[in-house]
Amino acid sequence: MTAKANVIGVPRFTEITDLTIPTLSILDAEGKLRKDAHEPLINKATAMKIYQDMAYIRILDERMVAAQRQGRLSFYLTCTGEEASVVGSIAGFKSHDMVMSQYREQAALRYRGFSSEQFMNQLLSNDLDFGKGRQMPIHYGSRELNYMTISSTLATQIPQAAGYAYGQKLSGKDACTICYFGEGAASEGDFHAGLNMAAVSNCPVVFVVRNNGYAISTPTSEQFSGDGIAPRGIGYGISSIRVDGNDILAVYAASVEARKLALEKNAPVIVETMSYRLGAHSTSDDPTNYRSSAEEDVWRKKDPILRMKNWMLDKGWWSDQQDHQLKAQYKKEILDALKSQEKRPSPSISELITDVYKTPPAHLQKQYKDLLSHIDKYPDHYLPNPNKVDHQTALTQFN
């Protein structure tokens, strides 16, 4: 029995009002420092990188949604409105910390150094795609940048993050894991399994929960009746904090402290960022079916990028001219990358069943040989591929 409580002599039920968690907020909606708020230690270079990467992702999202509508890629999912929740948090971690994300955290990958060409390679599934065309668009991953490849299945990364962090602890390295997911994923069983494992096994993992108001079309009011996600961490014995997810300074300050706490105590931490998904859930979604433009307008006035820009302008670290030049530069960079990388060929068929097994099992080898025979028999059914493999070589590569 591990519960710790004061003894009482009459029935008294604890209500949700007793467990309301406050929200950390440092900047107001205009980007001004709030009264009695403490500005975190953040130098100009870090602030510049954070702002520039947020601006980049906003433009990448706009361009890629347009490209999807033009039929140049099949699917896309934006980070629009949640940039501070992602960039502000990843900026508080080290490059050797592992990132396990859901599917809306491309900004964390950009912060780590992912290039425009690398984004396009994955989105277009060309021959330079790290996933070799086996994943749908937005399922990024990079071994070099310690960014675990994204999985379509919701919440699987949560228990995986707990296990990976446990391994980091056993290795004795000064590293932890940061795990991203939305409040909708917190309704999955993997959320509870992952948090309990992390708490009981003392895993140095920071769970960043993006509470953006909707699980696709389901508002939070229909997902749960409790006070958000952070109180669930308390129930598992996990240190938890809630922050204004559109306030870059609040997210950054909380993330720096969360990483420190996770490593010092070898324990999990929850950071719940209160934000809003300004864009559609994905390019397959139409948010006008379940929310009003008036609701969206309220959150547009809390735009995380504009708030940070105003703060930087006040500090003399940025100017409107720099802002205009930066955005023009990013638009050109992204469009140039799209045009160049969409001309590249598809991944070679010779790599279709490699990597998973040291030696592919017999049934996969048979299916692979059948595919090559089918291509030989019906060559007109397949688009020309500059990477077309020599079939005789392909048939013998696993022997």
| DSSP-derived 3-state class of residue 207 | strand
Tokens of 77: 């999912």
> What is residue 316's predicted lDDT score, i.e. its pLDDT?
97
* Spatial contact of 241 and 258, defined as CB atoms under 8 Å apart: yes
215 and 187 Cβ atoms separated by less than 8 Å: yes
DSSP class per residue in 127-180: TT-TTTT-S-TT---BTTTTBPPP-SSTTTHHHHHHHHHHHHHHHT-S--EEEE
The single residue of 277, 307, 330, 368 carrying the catalytic annotation is 277
Please confirm, yes or no, whether 368 is among the known catalytic residues.
no
Instruction: Determine how many CB atoms are found less than 10 A away from the CB of residue 238.
Output: 19
Q: What is the pTM of this model?
A: 0.92
- 112-153 pLDDT, tens digit per residue, is 999 999 999 999 999 999 999 999 999 999 999 999 999 999
| Angle 244-111-323 from CA coordinates, rounded to 5° | 75
How deeply is 181 buried, as exposed, middle or buried, from its count of CB atoms within 10 A (0-12, 13-18, 19+)?
Answer: buried
Is 12 in the active site?
Answer: no
Contact in structure between 54 and 107 (CB atoms under 8 Å): yes
So what's the pLDDT on residue 148? 98
Rg (CA), the chain: 23
Cα within 13 Å of Cα(356), Cβ side: 10
User: Three-state SS across 57-91?
Assistant: HHHHHHHHHHHHHCCCCCCCCCCCCCHHHHHHHHC
H-only helix segments in the chain: 44-69, 83-90, 106-112, 116-124, 157-171, 189-200, 220-223, 230-235, 248-265, 293-300, 304-315, 320-341, 362-377, 391-396
Q: What is the pLDDT of residue 29?
A: 94
Give 300-305 contacts, CB < 8 A, sequence gap 24+.
Answer: 301/29, 302/29, 302/246, 302/276, 303/81, 303/246, 304/54, 304/81, 304/82, 304/83, 304/84, 304/85, 304/245, 304/246, 304/247, 304/248, 304/275, 305/51, 305/54, 305/55, 305/58, 305/83, 305/84
Phi, psi at 295, each rounded to 5°: -65, -45
Phi then psi for residue 181, to 5 deg, are -165, 165
Residue 340 to residue 268: CA distance in whole angstroms:
43
Cβ atoms < 10 Å from Cβ of 385: 14
- Give me the catalytic one of 38, 69, 96, 290: 290
| Bridge partners of residue 242, in order along the sequence | 23, 272
pLDDT given for residue 386 in this prediction = 44
Q: Which of 281, 307, 330, 344 is catalytic?
A: 281
Q: In whole angstroms, give the CA distance from residue 261 to residue 188.
A: 26
The DSSP secondary-structure symbol of 281 reads S
Which pLDDT score is estimated for 9? 82
Q: How far is CA 222 from CA 81, 91, 130, 287, 374, in A?
A: 22, 33, 38, 16, 50
Task: Label residue 388 exposed, middle or buried (CB < 10 Å: 0-12, 13-18, 19+).
Answer: middle
Rounded-to-integer distance, Cα 150 and Cα 153, Å: 9
Q: Which stretches of the chain score pLDDT less than 50?
A: 1, 386
Task: Specify whether 281 is catalytic.
Answer: yes
CA–CA–CA angle 309, 253, 300 (5° rounding): 40
- pLDDT for the residue numbered 1: 47
User: Where do the domains of the chain lie, and which CATH numbers do they carry?
Assistant: 16-341 (3.40.50.970), 349-396 (no CATH)
